[in-house]
Amino acid sequence: MNYSRREFVKQGANALIVGLTLRNSALQVFAVEENVTRGVLPSPRSVSPNELDSWLAISSEGNVTVYTGRVDLGTGVQTSFAQVVADELDVPFEAVTMVMGDTALTTDGGKSTASSNSNRGQQPLIRAAAEARRVLLAQAANRLGAPVETLSVQDGIVSVQGNPSKKISYAEIIGNKRFNTRLKASIPPDNRGTMLEGTAPIKTGNFKLVGKSIPRVDVPEKVAGTWPYVHNVRIPGMVHGRVVFPSAPGATLITIDEDSVRGVPGVIKVVRKGNFVGVVAEREEQAIQAARQLRVTWSEGTRLPRDKHEWLRNAKKIKTEDTSRGDVVAGLAKAVKTIRATYKTPIQNHGMIGPSCAVADVRDGQATFWSGSQWIQGNRRDLAAMLGLPLEKVRGVWLEASGSYGRLACDDAAPQAALLSQAVGRPVRVQWMRQDEHAWAPMSPPTLADMQAGLDAQGKITAFVLEGWSPSHSSGESGNSVAWRLVGGNPGHTRLSGGLGGHAYDFENDRTTMHYVEELLRAIYMRGPGSYQTCFAIETFMDELAAAANADPVEFRLRHLKDPDSIAVIEAVAKNSGWQTAPPYSKKISNRRGTATGRGISNATTGRKAAVVADVEVNLETGKVRVTKAVIAVTCGRIINPEGMRHQLQGGLIQGLSRSLMEEIKLDQTRVTDSDWLSYPILRFPEIPEIETILIDRPDSEPDGVGETASIPAAAAIGNAIFDATGVRLREVPFTPFRLRQQQLERQR
Amino acid sequence: MKFALRVNGKLQSVDVAPETPLLYVLRNDLELDGPKFGCGLGQCGACTVILQDQAIRSCSMRVDAVGRREITTLEGIGSRGRLHPIQEAFVSEQAAQCGYCINGMIMTAKAFLDKNPRPAEPAIRQALAGNLCRCGTHLEIIRAVQRAAQTRSASPSGQSLKKRGTA
């Protein structure tokens, strides 16, 4: 199939959509890609979500173009979206082209996330395809003089069953013409994505493409170096900007000494707007030099806490949410044993390999920007409001960035590029430096969870209590980009997200109290926001309870579960890992030259169900932990692309292992002190374990995304394995050698 | 200052400050998008190119230090229509998610395999230890490098990984 940038769409005077599909020669394909990365954009088209034509068009050659505001974050949805649409329409996979994330061409599909793209992102595309098929079949019935019920479709050709010579193609019916069909779109206020309603039946079985491991359409160009990343945008007259960030969060600008960059060649302008400071130069390295050399004095910033978890407990509360079932006080009173523990997770950085980057061209009362944003329409609204431009004068064009894992839910580079472009009247490209991305990106916030549970004499949980503290995981989203905050007058972002709590267990008495507290540092969703932290607390606590009940951790979980999917994934990992039934840290393990081995299980629930068994090897001298093998099982409804899913699970698990073993953003009392990959290391090739993935297909239930699913159970699986190996219980992520040694020494006392 | 660079078999002339990192010259002056900016510190490997037969970090090499040495970028080992066997192996193993690090993985693997045609799996991991991937595509990348090595040893000349004319 072709992908978005290969389609050059023009809207003629008669409002017909003319799709000129350049698919024949590689040379032509590159010409079109170059047009986009060089700033030549297709003419705008109607993007009303209530029009079928806004979602889908069929050319006179039978090529299908699908328009969506959802974008591919490197997870492969432009392949899987094309798969489901091709299947629904009964056209070949190669006939479908995805156009993604251009505010002048696509409707607002809501924020793109790896967990929602395959359900909420996909829903309107399937619905639009089904409606298109309904319209096409009705017209075919008319033209062929046969009732709709007697028609069948194969490869875009409608024929009469039993009389295959009576046939007509989709292209003949509608080629280059509009459907002119109204649909009902519902757009939720929480920006989770447009859903479409309609009357056409939707396939629930007999799939031809769904369930097949179709190779990703982007990989060949990614390995050839020709994929149009946002970092490659190069438009005529473009110059380079760099942002000069404050000395610390909360610091305000006192003075700028422009003389300090007088000698730097190529400098066009030092830009100041409120507390926003940037430089623009002819060449990239000149902008970098000027940003480094510019002398700026800042006020002192916000005082940051010495102990962020103590801070969480005492921080100003924004909201407390309380959910309960049964009576935990009575449940605890019945217990023969009561267990308490506190779990802490750190501030973590998304760690995009390619830093934030965007290009903006703000001139003559209008703006165009190219961004890797996960929500190009949200970025567009912010940018228009910040610049004081009418929304219709702003166009946002998405191009893929580095994998963002939530970080680009609000792209910070685009508004910065826009401010600089506005100041110099030329297109400006902004790219963050590595230290900016480590210190100034919105982060995954720290969390604290106090857990308490009672066990009866039979080893059943009588009450389960979680009290959690965390800032919202989305304070850095729309209305709160770093540039707009520095300029001032931004509305902020008040939606609360990522609260702790949630599991699949069937506890009689169960209570969760979640305190959302004020912002510590700007925060944004990171692969399983809140779920990763919740799962660490609950699943480690379950292991502690199993140990207290002298029970096997697998059996102990199963005795508290009724949910069939949770049971299925746990049983699958137990079976494939060759789980040996025994309470944690009860097996006599042979210690080979100062190492101990152990194994732990963890089970995650976030709509999707996942379970992981991790094997670890702990160096008892150094405290270093190596995960040697992991087995993961997942259910996520109907599987669209099994290999694509497997890659997501492996990737998510590896990222989860990395976060759990080594990742923690460090602060001094004024600012983030991490600035690069040495101060904030991530897992490297020699440390990657063998991974076995078990995909449990549920063909009768709707598909769901798995981008987050595998990261979530990682921490508890490793922590439980460390306990199994050493008897040391780690209740704070990450499990650094220092923490492990410290706990070992404490135990020996 | 003018520099004559030998890039992908062609002589290219650029006029830049001598301390300019090679990466910016390749990307901004020669419009070669294969090498990527990741950290500018030589820590992640996204900017890797091959200098003569060594995989180097183009973000940390000054343009005036290149001299007459031949530079090979991702574009120089294969193209969309004619992928290099290592690139083909990456497609076969679907060894890319966001793909931002992949230039570095392929270029590092190329320089490594040219010197170590039949590497054991741990040696591949060690060769790539300085290249960071955040999507967690490591296992697919390892398999792609293994596959490329097998393709090479299976080919009669044993030269299939050598680029026509360069390296």
Ordered by where they begin, the domains of chain B are 2-77 (3.10.20.30), 85-154 (1.10.150.120)
Structural domain contains residue A626:
yes
Tens digits of per-residue pLDDT, A232-259? 999 999 999 999 999 999 999 999 999 9
> What are the tokens at A617?
């090897």
Q: In whole angstroms, what is the distance from residue B69 CA to residue B53 CA? A: 10
Average pLDDT, chain A: 93
Which amino acid, residue A605? T
CATH code of the domain covering residue A287: 3.30.365.10
Tens digits of per-residue pLDDT, B24-42? 999 999 999 999 999 999 9
Confidence bin at A608 (pLDDT 50/70/90) = confident
Query: Is the predicted pLDDT of residue A21 greater than 70, yes or no?
Result: no
Structure confidence at residue A29 (pLDDT): 45
Is the C-alpha dihedral spanning A482, A483, A487, A493 positive or negative?
Answer: negative
Instruction: Tell if the CB–CB gap between A222 and B102 is shorter than 8 Å.
Output: yes
Domain, as residue range, for A640: 528-748
Give me the torsion for CA of A476, A482, A485, A491, rounded to 10°.
-40
Tens digits of per-residue pLDDT, A660-670? 999 999 999 99
Query: Is the predicted pLDDT of residue A113 greater than 90, yes or no?
Result: no
Q: In whole angstroms, what is the distance from residue B156 CA to residue A524 CA? A: 53
Query: Is the predicted pLDDT of residue B126 greater than 50, yes or no?
Result: yes
Tens digits of per-residue pLDDT, A37-46? 888 999 999 9
Q: Strands A690-696, A625-635: parallel, antiparallel or unpaired by DSSP?
A: parallel
Instruction: Tell if the CB–CB gap between A220 and B37 is shorter than 8 Å.
Output: no
Tens digits of per-residue pLDDT, A124-175? 999 999 999 999 999 999 999 999 999 999 999 999 999 999 999 999 999 9
Structural domain contains residue A334:
no
**Domain final residue, candidates A397, A431, A465:** A431
Ranges of H-type helices in A488-578: 531-548, 553-558, 564-577
**Domain final residue, candidates A196, A228, A260:** A228
Same domain? A224 vs A240: no
Listed in sequence order, the residues at least 6 apart from A227 whose beta carbon sits closer than 8 Å to its beta carbon are A218, A221, A400, B99
Give me the torsion for CA of A678, A682, A685, A686, rounded to 10°.
80
Same domain? A133 vs A237: no
Structural domain contains residue A178:
yes
Query: Is the predicted pLDDT of residue A559 greater than 70, yes or no?
Result: yes
The percentage of chain A sitting over the pLDDT mark of 90, rounded to a whole number, equals 88
Query: Is the predicted pLDDT of residue A31 greater than 50, yes or no?
Result: yes
- Beta bridge pairs of residue A453: A339, A464
3-state secondary structure of A118: helix
The answer to whether residue A651 neighbours chain B at the CB level (below 8 Å) is yes
- Let me know how long chain B is: 167
Q: Which long-range contacts (CB under 8 A, 24 or more apart) does A672-677 make?
A: A672/A249, A672/A438, A672/A439, A672/A440, A672/A521, A674/A349, A674/A438, A674/A439, A675/A434, A675/A435, A675/A438, A675/A439, A676/A434, A676/A435, A676/A438, A676/B39, A676/B41, A676/B43, A677/A434, A677/B39, A677/B41, A677/B43, A677/B44, A677/B132
Structural domain contains residue A340:
no
Same domain? A692 vs A573: yes
A355: closest CA among A431, A289, A242, A278? A431
Distance of CA A713 to the CA centre of its chain: 16
Query: Is the predicted pLDDT of residue B165 greater than 50, yes or no?
Result: no
Residue with tokens 């306990």: A723
Tens digits of per-residue pLDDT, A404-443? 999 999 899 999 999 999 999 999 999 999 999 999 999 9
Chain A partners within 8 Å of B128 (Cβ): 685
Same domain? A533 vs A682: yes
Same domain? A57 vs A190: yes
Structural domain contains residue A307:
no
Structural domain contains residue A479:
no
Same domain? A267 vs A400: yes
A414 CB neighbour count, 10 Å cutoff: 31
Q: How many domains does chain A have?
A: 3
Q: Which of A360-374, A594-608, B2-16 has the lowest mean pLDDT?
A: A594-608
Q: Does ipTM top 0.85?
A: yes
Per-residue pLDDT, averaged over A675-702, amounts to: 97
Per-residue pLDDT, averaged over A514-533, amounts to: 97
SS3 content of chain A, % helix, strand, coil (to 5): 30, 25, 40
Structure confidence at residue B166 (pLDDT): 39
Same domain? A158 vs A276: no
Same domain? A43 vs A111: yes
Per-residue pLDDT, averaged over A718-726, amounts to: 97
Structure confidence at residue A16 (pLDDT): 28
Which amino acid, residue A352? M
DSSP state of B58: G
- Let me know how long chain A is: 749
**Domain final residue, candidates A431, A449, A482:** A431
Closest chain B residue to A350, measured at CA: B134
Structure confidence at residue A592 (pLDDT): 63
Q: In whole angstroms, what is the distance from residue B147 CA to residue A605 CA? A: 36
Please state the φ and ψ torsions of residue B67, each to the nearest 5 degrees: 65, -140
Per-residue pLDDT, averaged over B6-25, amounts to: 98
Same domain? A174 vs A284: no
Residue A330, sorted as left (phi over 0), alpha (psi -120 to 50) or beta, turns out to be alpha
Distances (CA, A) of A436 to A305, A347, A732, B51, B78: 21, 16, 27, 29, 34
Query: Is the predicted pLDDT of residue A590 greater than 90, yes or no?
Result: no
Same domain? A176 vs A245: no
- Tell me which residues of chain B, numbers 102 to 121, contact chain A at a CB-CB cutoff of 8 Å: 102-103, 106
Instruction: Tell if the CB–CB gap between B136 and A232 is shorter than 8 Å.
Output: no
Structure confidence at residue A115 (pLDDT): 79
Chain A partners within 8 Å of B94 (Cβ): 215-216, 219, 643-644, 647
Structural domain contains residue A457:
no
Instruction: Tell if the CB–CB gap between B83 and A285 is shorter than 8 Å.
Output: no
DSSP state of A323: E
Instruction: Tell if the CB–CB gap between A402 and B87 is shorter than 8 Å.
Output: no
Same domain? A241 vs A125: no
Confidence bin at A190 (pLDDT 50/70/90) = low
The answer to whether residue B15 neighbours chain A at the CB level (below 8 Å) is no
Q: In whole angstroms, what is the distance from residue B80 CA to residue A102 CA? A: 25
Distances (CA, A) of A486 to A5, A273, A426, A518: 34, 8, 22, 19
Confidence bin at A565 (pLDDT 50/70/90) = very high
Structure confidence at residue A188 (pLDDT): 81
Per-residue pLDDT, averaged over A305-314, amounts to: 97
List the A157-160 sheet strands across, edge first: A151-154, A157-160, A163-169
- Tell me which residues of chain B, numbers 46 to 85, contact chain A at a CB-CB cutoff of 8 Å: 46, 73-75, 78-81, 83
Instruction: Tell if the CB–CB gap between B98 and A234 is shorter than 8 Å.
Output: no
Structural domain contains residue A619:
yes
Q: Which helix (H) or strand (E) holds A511?
A: strand A510-517
Q: In whole angstroms, what is the distance from residue A743 CA to residue A623 CA? A: 10
Structure confidence at residue A589 (pLDDT): 60
3-state secondary structure of A232: helix
Same domain? A717 vs A616: yes
Q: Which helix (H) or strand (E) holds A439?
A: helix A434-440
